[in-house]
Amino acid sequence: MNGGGEGDGWPRLTAAAGGEKRHPKGLGNGAIPGGAGGEGPPQQQEEGQETWGRRQPRRNSLTGEAACQEIAIRNPFLYYLFNLGTELGNELFYILFFPFCIWNLDAWMGRRLIIVWVWVMYLGQCTKDVIRWPRPASPPVVKLEVFYNSEYSMPSTHAMSGTAIPLALVLLSYGRWQYPLMYGLILVICWCSLVCFSRIYMGMHSILDVIAGFLYAILILVVFHPAVDLIDNFNLTYKYAPLIIISLHLALGVFSFTLDTWSTSRGDTAQILGCGAGVACGSHFNYMLGLMQDPSPDTLPLIPPSITVTLFGKAILRLLIGVVLLLLTRIMMKKITIPLACKMFSIPCDDIRQARQRMEVELPYRYITYGMVGFSLMFLVPCLFLFIGLS
């Protein structure tokens, strides 16, 4: 990914926060190129060069890390395309995609997708904290976001989720749903490529990080995919499944918090585990009460229904109402759990950012909050849909 040459579409560093001009420098340190046009000779803004716009890198308010550079964007298509690719591995996408699958497509498939996602992301985050490779240095790399800058780099968990989710989606749906396999393969290639290339463009990963994440996700799928049915059946049918699920996911969260000093990856890990536990517990209650029953095997393969105005309207209405309820649940639980954890462990809560860097606060806050979000996704919201006639 070389940044030399005018009008190539790759971002340029233009100025530091204090107004000092900054430009990418040559690598010179043996690092693998990891950013969008970061390496190469300094790029000066010459007369006649068109700059489409300027942006500040996306930042994470929890880390307090200030954006130190302004980015000149020369190709808005690439900029928005790879921002979209990055969002396919962020919370906003997950809180839209998984509910849509479960409420509107196939709850059977949605449950198994979340099981795969939890294992892939958990192992990826833990591996980061074991290997402890830093993010690509800037300069020479141009970073278009610093949201995950406090995390380690190897492997890329965006590349892992961007590989595992579409692959698992095709593995789970093909044969269960009637559609040409070629469509599924095209989806996998486009989705995976977009996410992987976006992490290099955004300056958050080297090529090696992305390749390792891609291969690691495939390895995890090869090992764990045969056990997905067993895990899902256990979650649904075993009498004491909720107790085991909650205990196991909490123990995994505590273990992940012991791997390294604080970073945003620890909270993300607890968040993923909490969501997985909540969905699994919600699935158990659904099964026990006979709600959201899976289609019987003799109805397979399922034929995609014709898209009508009524079908489309109900799907969008379910998504809008459900996601709003999930967001309200998250806000409410956050306001309850953080002060409660601070009070229980005698931690000052006047500085929330500092308090959340303590395991005693961050782990229960993330685990309980997103556990309730997952439980609402799988049980409470579908109960509401049944009550108001939207199921």
What distance in Å separates the CA atoms of residue 289 and residue 171, rounded to the nearest whole number?
A: 29
Catalytic residue among 23, 158, 225, 284: 158
> The tokens 């002060």 sit on which residue?
339
> Which of 338, 343, 345 has its CA nearest to residue 366?
338
DSSP-derived secondary structure letter, 141: S
For residue 240, give every residue at least 6 positions away whose Cβ sits within 8 Å of its Cβ, in sequence order, or none: none
CA distance readout (Å), 70 to 10, 42, 63, 83, 300: 14, 16, 19, 16, 54
Within its chain, how far is the Cα of 166 from the centroid?
A: 13
- Type of residue numbered 199: R
249 annotated active-site: no
**Across-strand partners of 58?**
145
Rg (CA), the chain: 22
Cα torsion through 325, 327, 333, 338, rounded to 10: -170
Give helix 228-237 / helix 241-257 axis angle, nearest 10°.
Answer: 120
- Supply φ then ψ for residue 73, to 5 degrees: -100, 120
Q: By the 8 A CB rule, do 362 and 356 touch? A: yes
Judge if the upstream peptide bond of residue 139 is cis by omega within 30 degrees of 0. yes
- Supply φ then ψ for residue 308, to 5 degrees: -115, 170
What distance in Å separates the CA atoms of residue 233 and residue 226, rounded to the nearest whole number?
A: 13
Query: Which H/E stretch holds residue 54?
Result: strand 53-55
225 annotated active-site: no
Q: By the 8 A CB rule, do 75 and 201 touch? A: no
**Across-strand partners of 73?**
53
Kindly report the number of other CB atoms within 10 A of residue 276's CB atom.
25
Catalytic residue among 205, 225, 249, 284: 205
Kindly report the number of other CB atoms within 10 A of residue 282's CB atom.
28
Q: By the 8 A CB rule, do 260 and 129 touch? A: yes
Catalytic positions: 158, 205
